[in-house]
Structure formats: C-alpha cells, structure tokens
Amino acid sequence: MLMTLIYRALIALVLFFILVNIWREKDIRNQAVGAMVTIPLLLRLLMLK
C-alpha cells in the first residue's frame, strides 16, 4: 500500500512538471511531445493500463 502511494506521488510530481513545461513551451512540436508523454503518465496515475 505504501509503495503504491509513493509510486503515485512520484508520477504526479513528474506529470506536474511536464504540464508546467508544456504550458511554458512556445514551440508546438515540443508541446505535442509533452502531450504524448503526459497521456501514459496520466493513465498510470489513475491506475489504468
């Protein structure tokens, strides 16, 4: 149980920083890459595979 909470907290932290990076990025290609990385992380955060 504790390991799951730590795992989800780490995923949430990484997801937060990626979303901040997408928000600040000017280039649409880098935003698209960030969005592609965000989708699997969001699914992992919600525990969907």
Instruction: Compute CA distances 8 → 2, 11, 29, whole Å.
Output: 10, 5, 28
pLDDT digits (tens, 9 = 90+) for 5-49: 999 999 999 999 999 999 999 999 999 999 999 999 999 999 887
> Tokens 């935003």 belong to which residue?
31
> What pLDDT score does 12 carry?
96
Predicted local distance difference test score (pLDDT) of residue 28: 94
- Give pLDDT, residue 49: 72
pTM of the full structure: 0.83
